């Protein structure tokens, strides 16, 4: 059984602009794209995989060495070995701030950057799974995706983190998720944030039309996690690369700290408008009951703890008498409750200002 897959190698070459020239009994021949500035008659031979023939992997190992010299900007030998053997993508993020120029990074900053990027990946999965601009939840899909990610050997060049991320399908609770589309969505959103927030000098007017115009890219929690990746770690400059057999993408962001205050204002306006437009739907457990006289009070306050957008949130809800009595039973028996309604953001919690649904999920 060969380590490498002929179809992945050919897909990689075609996606990088190589042209199929001819086929022979044992090899397919490809010519390079013009931008590589190789000799006019230069070709590479891709052996045809035949079970009865040995030496396929040996030949591909030599091919990888040759290609890694030709495609130094795109993929090194380690990357090509992964791309040619499994249907994964390689994601790199390089921090090139002043304190990382020698290839080292403060330990705490390293931990915070990893946690920050994990949240970015989690929110990208949630966004692609739910297509919601805010309040999406996709715990199963997020865990499935992250469990298939692997940390790879790092490289020289400031401070580089390299991950092998999945390209195969994830079976969600409602559909099959193409992880390749998740990876591309992540880069689409990063490119949008770079141009719309980091590089712009024009203040955008955030209204319903703007929300509609950017709906394909808008997810509040993903935007917020990207902001945190820079702000919590005081990172200024990051280069991102996504390499697969289908494409190569690169994004470079610089001097981001100068734009964090604007990013925070942008996020606040986006969230305030989304809270008016999008109902919060959540399932959780009652944390506290606060009514003194539920049969006569109009302020039957309940605090509910629920996971929203991969984060545990506390939600304040005001219930009528019958709903509050149901809430007492749910709290007593530790039953989950489902709520839906327009929400308002407080300092430490969300409040439902227009309750549309309160339901006890009895076991």
| CATH number of 334's domain | 2.40.50
Identify whether 253 is part of a domain. Answer: yes
- Residue 282 near residue 350 (C-beta atoms within 8 A): no
Residues 185 and 289 reside in one and the same domain = no
* Section 196-213 average pLDDT: 92
Give the three-state DSSP class for 315.
Answer: strand
> Of 277, 309, 342, which residue is a domain's last?
277
* Section 290-299 average pLDDT: 76
Identify whether 80 is part of a domain. Answer: yes
* Residue 147 CB partners (closer than 8 Å, separation 6+): none
pTM: 0.89
H/E stretch holding 313:
strand 311-319
Could you give the CA distance from residue 83 to residue 66 in angstroms, rounded to a whole number?
15
DSSP 99: G
- Residue 108 near residue 164 (C-beta atoms within 8 A): no
- Per-residue confidence (pLDDT) for residue 334, from 0 to 100: 94
Separate counts of helices (H) and strands (E) for the chain: 10, 15
Give the three-state DSSP class for 138.
Answer: coil
Strands (E), 212-299: 238-243, 248-253, 280-289
* Section 318-339 average pLDDT: 93
Residues 242 and 115 reside in one and the same domain = yes
List b or e across 79-99, with b for residues whose CB sees 16 or more CB atoms inside 10 angstroms: bbbbbbbbbbbbbbbbbbbee
Which residues pair with residue 250 across a beta bridge?
A: 241
> Of 51, 71, 86, which residue is a domain's last?
86
Residue 67 lies in domain? 6-86
* Residue 259 CB partners (closer than 8 Å, separation 6+): 197, 198
Q: Which of 146-155, 260-269, 282-291, 295-304 has the lowest mean pLDDT?
A: 295-304
- Per-residue confidence (pLDDT) for residue 173, from 0 to 100: 64
The answer on pLDDT for 118 being more than 70 is: yes
Band of the pLDDT at 291, cuts 50, 70, 90? confident
Q: How many domains does the chain have?
A: 3
Q: What is the pLDDT of residues 222-235, one digit of tens each?
A: 999 999 999 999 99
Residues 210 and 178 reside in one and the same domain = yes
Band of the pLDDT at 90, cuts 50, 70, 90? very high
> Which tokens in the block code for residue 46?
């891709």
* Residue 203 CB partners (closer than 8 Å, separation 6+): none
Could you give the CA distance from residue 358 to residue 363 in angstroms, rounded to a whole number?
16
- Per-residue confidence (pLDDT) for residue 174, from 0 to 100: 66
List b or e across 203-235, with b for residues whose CB sees 16 or more CB atoms inside 10 angstroms: eeebeeeebeebeebbbbbbbbbbbbbbbebeb
> Of 51, 86, 121, which residue is a domain's last?
86
- Per-residue confidence (pLDDT) for residue 7, from 0 to 100: 94
Beta pairing class for 350-361 and 311-319? parallel
* Section 60-74 average pLDDT: 87
């Amino acid at each position: 059984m060969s380590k490498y897959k002929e179809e992945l190698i050919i897909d990689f070459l075609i996606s990088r602009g190589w042209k199929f020239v001819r086929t022979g009994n044992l090899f397919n021949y490809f010519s390079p794209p013009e931008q590589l500035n190789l000799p006019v008659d230069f070709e590479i031979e891709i052996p045809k995989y035949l079970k009865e023939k040995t030496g396929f992997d040996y030949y591909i190992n030599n091919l990888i060495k040759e290609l890694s010299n030709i495609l130094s900007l795109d993929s090194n030998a380690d990357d090509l070995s992964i791309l040619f053997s499994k249907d994964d993508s390689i994601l790199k993020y390089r921090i090139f701030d002043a304190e990382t120029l020698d290839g080292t990074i403060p330990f705490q900053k390293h931990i915070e950057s990893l946690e920050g990027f994990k949240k970015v990946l989690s929110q990208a999965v949630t966004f692609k799974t739910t297509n919601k601009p805010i309040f999406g939840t996709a715990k199963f899909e997020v865990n499935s995706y992250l469990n298939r990610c692997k940390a790879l050997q790092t490289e020289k060049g400031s401070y580089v983190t390299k991950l092998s991320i999945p390209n195969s399908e994830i079976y969600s609770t409602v559909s099959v998720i193409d992880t390749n589309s998740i990876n591309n969505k992540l880069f689409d959103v990063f490119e949008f944030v770079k141009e719309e927030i980091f590089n712009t000098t024009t203040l955008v007017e955030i209204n319903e039309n703007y929300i509609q115009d950017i709906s394909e890219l808008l997810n509040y929690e993903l935007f917020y996690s990207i902001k945190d990746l820079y702000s919590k770690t005081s990172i200024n400059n990051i280069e991102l690369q996504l390499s697969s057999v289908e494409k190569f993408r690169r994004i470079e962001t610089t001097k981001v700290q100068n734009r964090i205050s604007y990013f925070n204002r942008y996020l606040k306006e986006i969230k305030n408008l989304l809270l008016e437009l999008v109902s919060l739907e959540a399932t959780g457990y009652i944390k506290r009951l606060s009514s003194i006289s539920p049969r006569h009070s109009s302020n039957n306050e309940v605090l509910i703890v629920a996971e929203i957008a991969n984060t545990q949130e506390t939600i304040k809800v005001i219930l009528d008498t019958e709903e509050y009595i149901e809430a007492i039973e749910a709290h007593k028996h530790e039953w989950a409750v489902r709520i839906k309604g327009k929400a308002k953001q407080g300092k430490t919690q969300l409040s439902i200002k227009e309750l549309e649904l309160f339901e006890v999920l009895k076991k």
